[in-house]
Amino acid sequence: MAGGRMPLALIIDDHPIVVTGFMQTVGATGVCDVVGSISLVEGFRTYRQRRPDAIVLDLSFRDDPFAGLSFLRRFRALGASTPILVFSMHDDPTIVRQVLHVGANGYVQKDVSPEMIREAFLAVLAGSSFLMPEMASKVALLNQPRDRGLLDRLTSREMEILGLISRGHSYTDISSRLGISYKTVANTSSILKTKLSARSLPELMIKSIRLLS
């Protein structure tokens, strides 16, 4: 019990069917109440109003594959310590390592069994951390050397933008931080994709983490 009430969990995911399924999966444990939000703005508003005891957060929202990571980073920057379980389709250990680095308490993939989802959630709700054993091993072994040859090909501006991308900042965030236009950020990111042989923004982010972590 938290403050004389049933503990409360908040799930933030822009797919209503995922929100409903998670609410049913966790609700079946009988250990807490569950509420859902289908946008990050709504999710933060619900957090402010309800003060949940744990948050379950997706990483990808609409056109931004790492909007949830930006949300997590900002959330922790505010000093909020509510346990967060990231619930995502991504299975790359580089992404998982970054999620944990910016403040997640656990990470579980969406294609695991309901039993594993419950186990992950209950661990985070209890204040523990959670990674599936196979993923924990991959993250622990992830220690790739930096490729200085690739980095030496980048301009100072490209390095600035790549560094912010590696920390989960959106194009809008980067534009504001560096005092440049959104179009400049987008164009520079396209150049970075070419130089680093990345076919998409998610792949560019993964490569940026590997190069700069």
Tokens of 91: 């299975």
Euclidean distance between CA atoms 137 and 114, whole angstroms: 22
Q: Which residues contact 186 (CB under 8 A, 6 or more apart)?
A: 171
Instruction: Work out the pLDDT band at 4, boundaries 50, 70, 90.
Output: low
DSSP 2: B
In this structure, are residues 208 and 166 in contact, taking their beta carbons and an 8 Å threshold?
A: yes
The residue to which tokens 């744990």 are assigned: 54
> pLDDT tens for residues 30-45?
888 999 999 999 999 9
Is residue 186's pLDDT more than 50? Answer: yes
**For position 35, what pLDDT does the model report?**
94
| pLDDT, mean of residues 126-146 | 76
Residue 144 — pLDDT band, cuts 50, 70, 90? low
Name residue, tokens 């997640």: 104
Beta-carbon-side half-sphere exposure of residue 81 (alpha carbons within 13 Å):
2
- pLDDT value of residue 85: 96
> If you search the block for the tokens 């294609």, which residue do you land on?
111
Quote the DSSP letter at residue 61.
Answer: B
Contacts of 82 (CB under 8 A, 6+ apart): 47, 51, 52, 53, 54, 55, 75
Q: Which of 7-16, 24-33, 141-150, 203-212: highest mean pLDDT? A: 7-16
Q: What is the pLDDT of residue 12?
A: 96
pLDDT interval class at 62 (50, 70, 90): confident
